[in-house]
Amino acid sequence: MKKMTQEDILNIYKKSGALLEGHFDLSSGLHSSVYLQSAMVLQYPEHASMLCKELAEVFKGRKIEVVIAPALGGIIVAYEVARHLNVRAIFAEREKGELTLRRGFNIKEGERTLVVEDVITTGISVKETIEVVEKNKGMLVGVGSLIDRSGGKAEMGHPYHSLVVLNEPVYKPEECPLCRKGQKITKPGSRGL
Ligand SMILES: [Zn+2]
C-alpha cells in the first residue's frame, strides 16, 4: 500500500468537515485560525481504519501488547490501531479530575504499551496518559497521534510519531492576533459547533 502523505490525510479531514477555518477558542484555552474535529473523520469506519493502519505501521515490530488513549477523543484511534496490531485497546478517563484506568482495564507490569491520541495540541492529556502507564508499571514503547498541531514542539520524552505535523500557530488569548482584529470567535464543543 502506498504511504499516505500529510496532504492526503488533511484532504480527508477537509472533505469530512473535520478541518474548519476561522477563529476558534480551543479546549486547551488557546486560540487558533484552524479547528480540527477528528470525530468528523472517525465517524467513517473506512477513514478510521485507513488512518489508524498508517499509525499502526509505524509501531509494527515494536512488540506492542496494549494500546491506550485518553478518553474521549483517542478511544477510536486506540481501538483501530490495536485492531491492526492485533492487541488490546484500553482508555484512561477522568475520575475526580485525574486520568485513571476504570472498568476493569489494566496494564500488566512490563507490558509493552503504546499511547495514542487523535490530535495533540499541548500534549497534556497524552502526558497524563503516560503517567497512568508508568503508575501501572507498564513499559511505554512510544506515542502516536494522527495530527500534531504543536508544529512538532510537543515534547513527549518518548519516541513520538504523528502522521501529520501542522504548523498553524495557536495563541494565548492575550496574544491572539485574531482577537486583536476583533474577529468573532467560536468555541467548538460537544454541541458540535
Ligand atoms: Zn483569539
Output the CA 8–ligand 1 centroid distance in Å. 29
Instruction: Note the pLDDT tens digit of each residue in 142-154.
Output: 999 999 988 778 8
pLDDT for the residue numbered 156: 87
Output the CA 140–ligand 1 centroid distance in Å. 36
Output the CA 39–ligand 1 centroid distance in Å. 23
What is the DSSP annotation of 14-43? HHTT-EEEEEEE-TTS-EEEEEE-HHHHHT
Amino acid at 27: S
Instruction: Note the pLDDT tens digit of each residue in 26-62.
Output: 877 899 999 999 999 999 999 999 999 999 999 999 9
Output the CA 188–ligand 1 centroid distance in Å. 13
Output the CA 168–ligand 1 centroid distance in Å. 13
- Domains assigned to the chain: 6-180 (3.40.50.2020)
**Computed from CA positions of residues 135, 110, 87, 122, in that sequence, does the dihedral angle turn out positive or negative?**
positive
